[in-house]
A and B are shown apart, each in its own frame.
Chain A
Amino acid sequence: MSKNVGEFGLPPHAARNKDVVEQRLKDVAAGTGLQETLTIEWRTKPQVVQVIDMPVESLYYNPGTHRIRAQRSFDPQQDRRLDDDPWSDESQDYLQYLLQAEPSDPSKRDKDFDELKQSLEDFRQNEPGLITREGILVNGNTRAAALRELGVPDIRVAVLPDSCTWADINKVELSLQLRHDTRRPYSYINRLLTIDEQVEAGRPLKEVARDFRIRESTAEQDLWVLACLRDLRDRSTTEDAQLRLLDFEDAQEKLREVHRAYGKEAKADPKKAELLKENRLAAIVMDFSKTDVRLIEADFRTRYLEHRLPEELKSAPVETAARVIPGINRAVKAEAPQVATARAFTDSVLRAKAMVRAGAKVSLAQSEKAASLFKEAHKAVEDALEPAGKDARVRKRKQAAPDRLNDACQDIEQCITDMVLASGSRSLDEEALDEAVLKLKATLRKLALATAQSIEVPGEGVEWLREAVRQEQQ
């Protein structure tokens, strides 16, 4: 016999749970302290309901919860039992199992569940759950499962009005669970600034981290990244132009990786760590992808970049004088020359980028000079990345060739944009462009030759290329 959808009757401990709930509600109402409440959507109107503490073990998972509706069929036998007797231990255990399982594959454990568990362990329960007077969880099923696994005895729950029916339970659950969260998350930089501001205000980092629901180590990392960004911003200053923090908004993951790599390296060799950081920061400024940045190690400059750099970027390391700490007249060792060189490179890239971004604030000539410098630097690093990433690329060799061409196409698109801009201001160096196009022609010819050697049955594209080259030669 099948029951109506969403009708499960009452659990065996319904009456007893009701006693406990009602007594605790009475206790809360009688107390003088500030009462915690939750506002829910109740029969089209918002309603404020009381929050109490309940023993987690005494509550029942809602067998009709929509969170696991699709996953119930994972084990047909248990699913049937869930319909016949949703309140038995076995059925409730099955629900608990499904709540911690991955939705797409219930035989695996859900990572999100473990994250929730960790968060509950670190920061306790944030939002109260929601139960009926009979102790059926309407909202917070997953949290209850996590708390149960953690062995936390009590859960904070709001209590629905007495007249609650299964239809109401479903409606309330949907209004709570499926409600779209329209809050926009803080942007990365804004979050960094807020954390910094809180710490500056004298609050302990641990507490700030808790407010943001992150670990203390993550907060430390965020502060390090922010310090790094501020440093970059200051170093980018030339005349009127300066980069802004928001220019690094997209670099969140790259910067975090730099921090991780830096921290690891710093333990072994601080100088190397410093080099690694400078090299990677330069690449981040130049908007290289995360995977590219990963290829850059401390020896990147000496091994790959040095001989590819144009002369103007090879600025001889300025011998930094040993600094003297004012007051105690003690000299500190100057930066290692290698680090200074790396810093100089990063600085010139930063300044060039700042100039380019400044737009109308600087003269056109300056802007162009900066753009070309930036481009050269970019090209040098890109070239250097190739041998650097050889190992990694070998694995991707299959895809490497088409990828390269795709990248080149993007560059050409960029070239078109730049060309239009330049001709608009009548500053296009037509001769240089002509030279470059000739170079492109030669390269394309080489490409056609290469395809002839390696591709036996050419597709449309390769066919076209060969045809074009053949016609050109005739």
Chain B
Amino acid sequence: MPSLPSEATRRAALRWLAELRVAGVSRVRTLFASHPAYADLTPAQYAEGLAWLRRTGMVTATGRPVVEIDDSELRASAEAPRVQWSRAVEEARRAVGAAGEQALLRLLRRGGVPQVRHVAAESDAYGYDISAGSPAERAHLEVKSTTNPTRLVIHLTRHEYEVMATDTDWYLVAVLVGRDGSAVNVATVIRSWLHSAVPADRDQAGRWESARLEVPAYAITPGLATETRRLVADGLLPRQPVWAFGSSTPMTV
């Protein structure tokens, strides 16, 4: 679990990403220092947040954010996540999802992976989005896209989970989508953690349909890889040390 100070840094980093969209670093720093609404974090914590963003390459040297954070993430950050459905939010989410899938398709093709198929464009029934690789070495990739580099939150449907339970070629791939629609980071979520994290149905009368999962750092493997093989060489994939608050080295389960 992330410790408390890094949680504050995480919130600071999120605010930096949001504010840097419209103003430069020094102006935003002054805003954080002088506006009462931002007084819940100290200037040191803000500084740490910016340093982390710079370290992970999420903010460019000229002070521009690499990812386009959306406001719903900002609001949900402090208190318990609330489901706020609106057409605009849903559309934004859909756009990010599509951008992530497209970015990953591009990476796979550039990586020379044979028979890459965007099956999500055909039907949702597959339980995954991209099918890639030769028949002997097939991979079924479920793509989860996000714009938040500070924390990996995924929404898993029951259907996807059930496919995962039976399909050994199923992988969950997380893509951090940048402002320009390209992939800034690609990582794989460890299967065994998913198994342990999904809720269990308590009763025959009720069952979960969709789960919101906050993936801890130790459950994330950088790159497109599993315990047994690498789909695309690491050198060809964008990799940033994001989503790793609280622990610097990923642990194995």
Residues of A near any B CB (own CB < 8 A): 12-13, 16, 19-20, 23, 54-58, 87, 89
- Contacting A55 at CB < 8 Å: which of B24, B34, B37, B63? B34
Of B22, B29, B33, the residue contacting A13 (CB under 8 A) is: B22
B51 CB–A CB distance under 8 Å: no
B36–A58 CB distance below 8 A: no
Contact bitstring B173-213, A, C-beta under 8 A = 1, else 0: 00000000000000000000000000000000000000000
* Nearest Cβ on chain B to A56's Cβ, whole angstroms: 8
Provide the main secondary structure of the chain A interface.
helix
The residue from B22, B29, B36, B37 contacting A57, defined by CB atoms under 8 A apart: B29
Known: A12-B22, A13-B22. A58 touches B37 (CB 8 A): no
Q: For B63, what are the chain A residues with a Cβ–Cβ distance below 8 Å?
A: 89
- Give 10 nearest A-B pairs by CB, closest first: A12-B22, A57-B30, A89-B24, A55-B30, A58-B30, A55-B34, A57-B26, A16-B35, A20-B34, A57-B27
Within 8 A of A (CB), among B1-53: 22-24, 26-27, 29-31, 33-37
- Whether the Cβ atoms of B37 and A12 lie closer than 8 Å is no
Q: Are B36 and A12 in contact (CB under 8 A)?
A: no
User: Quick check: A23 and B36 within 8 Å, CB to CB?
Assistant: yes
Minimal Cβ-Cβ distance residue in A for B37: A19
In the complex, what residues of A have CB within 8 A of residue B33's CB?
A: 55
Decide: A58 near B24, CB < 8 A? Known: A19-B36, A19-B37, A23-B36.
no
Q: Are B29 and A19 in contact (CB under 8 A)?
A: no
Q: Which of A12, A55, A87 has the most B CB atoms < 10 Å from its CB?
A: A55
Instruction: Kindly list chain A residues whose C-beta atoms are within 8 Å of the C-beta of B23.
Output: 12-13, 89
Is B34 touching A58 in the complex (CB atoms < 8 A)?
A: yes
Contact B31 A13 (CB under 8 A): yes
Measured between beta carbons, the chain B residues less than 8 angstroms from A87 are 22
Nearest chain B CB to A81's CB is how many angstroms away?
A: 15
CB distance from B18 to the nearest CB of A (A): 11
Query: With a CB–CB cut-off of 8 A, which chain A residues contact B37?
Result: 16, 19
A16's partner among B24, B26, B29, B31 (CB-CB below 8 A) is B31
Measured between beta carbons, the chain A residues less than 8 angstroms from B27 are 13, 57-58, 89
Nearest CB of chain A from residue B69's CB, rounded to whole Å: 15
- CA distance in complex: A54, B36 (Å): 13
Q: Tell me the chain B residues, 100-129 only, with Cβ under 8 Å from chain A.
A: none
Interface code B225-247, partner A: CB below 8 Å = 1, 0 otherwise?
00000000000000000000000
Interface residue ranges, B against A (CB under 8 Å): 22-24, 26-27, 29-31, 33-37, 63
How far apart are the CA atoms of A461 and B23 in the complex, in Å?
71
Interface centre among A12, A16, A19 (most CB of B within 10 A): A16
- Sample (29) of A-B pairs whose CB atoms are under 8 Å apart: A12-B22, A12-B23, A13-B22, A13-B23, A13-B27, A16-B31, A16-B35, A16-B37, A19-B35, A19-B36, A19-B37, A20-B34, A20-B35, A20-B36, A23-B36, A54-B34, A55-B30, A55-B34, A56-B30, A57-B26, A57-B27, A57-B29, A57-B30, A58-B27, A58-B34, A87-B22, A89-B23, A89-B24, A89-B63
Assembled-state Cα–Cα distance A76/B24 (Å):
23
CA of A344 to CA of B12, assembled, Å:
80
Which of A12, A54, A57 is most buried by chain B, counting CB atoms within 10 A of its CB? A57
| Complex Cα–Cα for A19 and B38 (A) | 12
CA of A62 to CA of B63, assembled, Å: 23
Expressed in whole angstroms, the Cα–Cα distance for A12 and B22 within the complex equals 6
Which of chain A's residues have a CB closer than 8 A to the CB of B35? Answer: 16, 19-20
B22 proximity list for chain A (CB < 8 A) = 12-13, 87
Report the Cα distance A20→B76, complex, angstroms. Answer: 25
Closest Cβ–Cβ distance, residue A249 to chain B (whole Å): 49
Interface centre among B22, B23, B31 (most CB of A within 10 A): B23
CA distance A57 to B24 in the complex (A): 10
Q: How far is the CA of A174 from the CA of B20 in the complex (A)?
A: 34
Given A58-B34, A89-B63, list of 6 further CB < 8 A pairs?
A16-B37, A20-B35, A57-B26, A57-B30, A58-B30, A87-B22
Q: How close is B168's CB to chain A, nearest CB, in angstroms?
A: 50
- Considering residues B30, B33, B36, B37, which has the most beta carbons from chain A within 10 angstroms of its beta carbon? B30
Q: How far is the CB of B33 from chain A (nearest CB, A)?
A: 7
Distance from A157 Cβ to chain B, minimum over Cβ atoms (Å)? 13
A89 surroundings in chain B (CB, below 8 A): 23-24, 27, 63
Cα separation A57 to B34 with both chains bound (whole Å): 10
CB nearest neighbor in A for B30:
A57
CA distance A16 to B39 in the complex (A): 13
**A89, B26: Cα distance in complex, Å:** 10
Chain B residues within 8 Å of A16, by CB: 31, 35, 37
Q: Find chain B residues with CB under 8 A from A58 CB.
A: 27, 30-31, 34
Which residues of chain A come closer than 8 Å to B34, judged between CB atoms? Answer: 20, 54-55, 58
Bound: A58/B27 CA distance, A: 5
Closest-by-CB residue of B relative to A56 is B30
B24 to chain A: which residues have CB within 8 Å? 89
Interfacial chain B residues near A57, Cβ < 8 Å: 26-27, 29-30
Q: How far is the CA of A57 from the CA of B23 in the complex (A)?
A: 11
Cα distance A189–B209 in the bound complex, in angstroms: 92
What's the Cα separation between A23 and B37 when bound, in Å? 12
How far apart sit A87 and B27, CA to CA, in the bound complex (Å)?
11
Interface centre among B26, B33, B34, B37 (most CB of A within 10 A): B34
Residues of B within 8 A of A55 (CB): 30, 33-34
Q: Which residues on B sit within 8 Å (CB–CB) of A56?
A: 30
Q: How far is the CA of A163 from the CA of B213 in the complex (A)?
A: 49
B24 to chain A, nearest CB (A): 4
B31 partner residues in chain A, CB cutoff 8 A? 13, 16, 58
Residues of A within 8 A of B29 (CB): 57
How far apart sit A423 and B33, CA to CA, in the bound complex (Å)? 83
Q: Among A19, A23, A87, A89, which residue has the most Cβ atoms of chain B within 10 A?
A: A89
CB distance from B19 to the nearest CB of A (A): 9
Nearest CB of B to A49, in Å:
20
Instruction: With CB as the reference atom, state the residue of chain B lying closest to A23.
Output: B36
> Which chain A residue shows the least CB distance to B38?
A16
Cα separation A465 to B36 with both chains bound (whole Å): 87
Report Cα–Cα, A12/B63, bound state, in Å. 16
Cα of A58 to Cα of B23 in the assembled complex, Å: 10
